[in-house]
């Protein structure tokens, strides 16, 4: 059911993060260790903010497995960004098509998701109807993930991200309860406006897919002074990812169930509690 990665910090070539690590996202596509499905070969996508004019990120999505896509490799080797998303997909039933690959984009917003809405086919119509009618035609695919995004936009993503996501989660759980769905919502979600990244981890039954965030760069530098490449990244450079990119102790921290993190983060706290709006 997918694996994803969000990066925010000093501009880097995408492949530094996407391809080079020992257990890179590309490797997680072939053989994930913590995912529900070991293989995530039903498409992929990247979104990146390039600093061009109007703040709209670029999105590159395709339907083949990420591990064999030459164009992705080329792009990653030649494109730099200070903030980017990457996602590899394992379909939970919906069609294999570009419009069902993450990240989804709306204006300056990017969104990606790992998880599922339980019994989505039963809730789909009501959820689509709860999307702002003006946004309904923007739903291009058939995934639960995309509908969740447009619900969050409808509920005020532009004004308050955690509140909008909490309202969306609350609606999904309410509707699920009405329809007798045992576990309406499973989600790790990342959303960004090009300046910050919000990462959420929540599930109705408290057993969300895995999600980790990196320690602050200064912390990692102290632990591993021999890692030269870290010498140049800003202190607030952070990665949030479904599975740790490597095995060095102290580098990766699990985002707890029912919480969300914001990057760049404040000095005192890495995450806050997340509760769906009742």
Per CB under 8 A, the segment of 2-10, 119-127, 156-164, 265-273 that binds its own copies is 119-127
The binding track of 34-73 with respect to its own copies, each residue x by CB under 8 A or -, is ----xx-xx-----x-x-x-----xxxxxxxx--x-xx--
Site for its own copies in 202-241 (CB under 8 A): none
Which strand (E) or helix (H) includes residue 176? Answer: helix 161-178
Q: Which candidate, 156, 183, 178, places its Cα nearest to that of 167? A: 156
Binding its own copies (rule: CB under 8 A), the pick from 22, 33, 74, 273 is 74
| Residue from 1, 2, 241, 261 carrying the catalytic annotation | 2
Q: Which candidate, 16, 18, 6, 9, places its Cα nearest to that of 113? A: 6
Binding its own copies (rule: CB under 8 A), the pick from 20, 22, 33, 78 is 78
Q: What's the distance, Cα to Cα, between the start and end of the chain in Å? A: 27
For residue 99, the minimal CB distance to its own copies (Å) is: 5
d(C-alpha 136, C-alpha 139), whole Å: 6
Binding its own copies (rule: CB under 8 A), the pick from 22, 55, 136, 254 is 136
Q: Which is nearer to its own copies, 243 or 252 (CB)?
A: 243
128 binds its own copies (CB under 8 A): yes
d(C-alpha 245, C-alpha 24), whole Å: 5
Q: Which candidate, 191, 66, 173, 67, places its Cα nearest to that of 127? A: 173
For residue 178, the minimal CB distance to its own copies (Å) is: 14
Q: Which candidate, 115, 138, 117, 121, places its Cα nearest to that of 242? A: 115
For residue 41, the minimal CB distance to its own copies (Å) is: 5
Per CB under 8 A, the segment of 94-102, 192-200, 209-217, 234-242 that binds its own copies is 94-102
Calculate the alpha carbon distances from 13 to 86, 113, 159, 212 in Å. 13, 23, 31, 21
d(C-alpha 170, C-alpha 63), whole Å: 31
Q: Which is nearer to its own copies, 118 or 276 (CB)?
A: 118
Let me know if 2 is a catalytic residue: yes
Q: Which is nearer to its own copies, 143 or 214 (CB)?
A: 143
Backbone angles phi, psi at 79, to 5 degrees: -115, 130
Provide CB contacts within 8 A for 222, sequence distance 6+: none
Give the count of residues interacting with its own copies (CB under 8 A). Answer: 46
Per CB under 8 A, the segment of 116-124, 197-205, 232-240, 253-261 that binds its own copies is 116-124
Provide CB contacts within 8 A for 228, sequence distance 6+: none
Provide CB contacts within 8 A for 180, sequence distance 6+: none
Q: Which is nearer to its own copies, 226 or 228 (CB)?
A: 228
d(C-alpha 203, C-alpha 118), whole Å: 11
142 binds its own copies (CB under 8 A): yes
Give catalytic residues, as residue numbers: 2
Q: Which residues contribute to the site for its own copies (CB under 8 A)?
A: 13, 30-31, 38-39, 41-42, 48, 50, 52, 58-65, 68, 70-71, 74-75, 77-79, 91, 94-99, 120-121, 124-125, 128-129, 133, 136-137, 139-142
């Amino acid at each position: 059911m997918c694996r994803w990665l969000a990066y925010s910090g000093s501009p880097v070539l995408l492949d530094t993060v996407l391809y080079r690590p020992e257990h890179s996202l590309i490797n997680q596509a072939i053989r994930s260790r913590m995912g529900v499905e070991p293989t995530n070969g039903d498409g992929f996508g990247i979104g990146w903010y390039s600093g061009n004019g109007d703040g709209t990120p670029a999105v590159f999505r395709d339907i083949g497995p990420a591990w064999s896509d030459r164009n992705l490799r080329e792009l990653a080797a030649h494109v730099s960004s200070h903030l980017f998303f990457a996602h590899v997909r394992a379909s939970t039933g919906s069609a294999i098509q570009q419009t069902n690959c993450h990240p989804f984009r709306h204006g300056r917003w990017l969104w990606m998701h790992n998880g599922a809405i339980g019994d989505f086919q039963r809730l789909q119509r009501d959820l689509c109807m709860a999307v702002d009618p003006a946004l309904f035609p923007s739903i291009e695919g058939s995934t639960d993930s995309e509908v969740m995004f447009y619900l969050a936009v409808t509920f005020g993503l532009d004004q308050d991200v955690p509140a909008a996501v909490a309202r969306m989660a609350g609606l999904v759980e309410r509707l699920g309860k009405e329809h007798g769905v045992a576990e309406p919502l499973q989600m790790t979600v990342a959303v960004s406006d090009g300046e910050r990244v919000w990462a959420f981890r929540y599930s109705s039954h408290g057993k969300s897919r895995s999600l980790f965030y990196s320690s602050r760069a200064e912390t990692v530098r102290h632990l591993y002074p021999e890692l030269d490449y870290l010498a140049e990244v800003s202190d607030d450079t952070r990665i949030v990812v479904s599975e740790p990119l490597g095995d060095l102790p102290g580098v990766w921290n699990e985002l707890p169930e029912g919480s969300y993190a914001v990057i760049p983060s404040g000095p005192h706290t890495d995450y806050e509690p997340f509760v769906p709006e009742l």
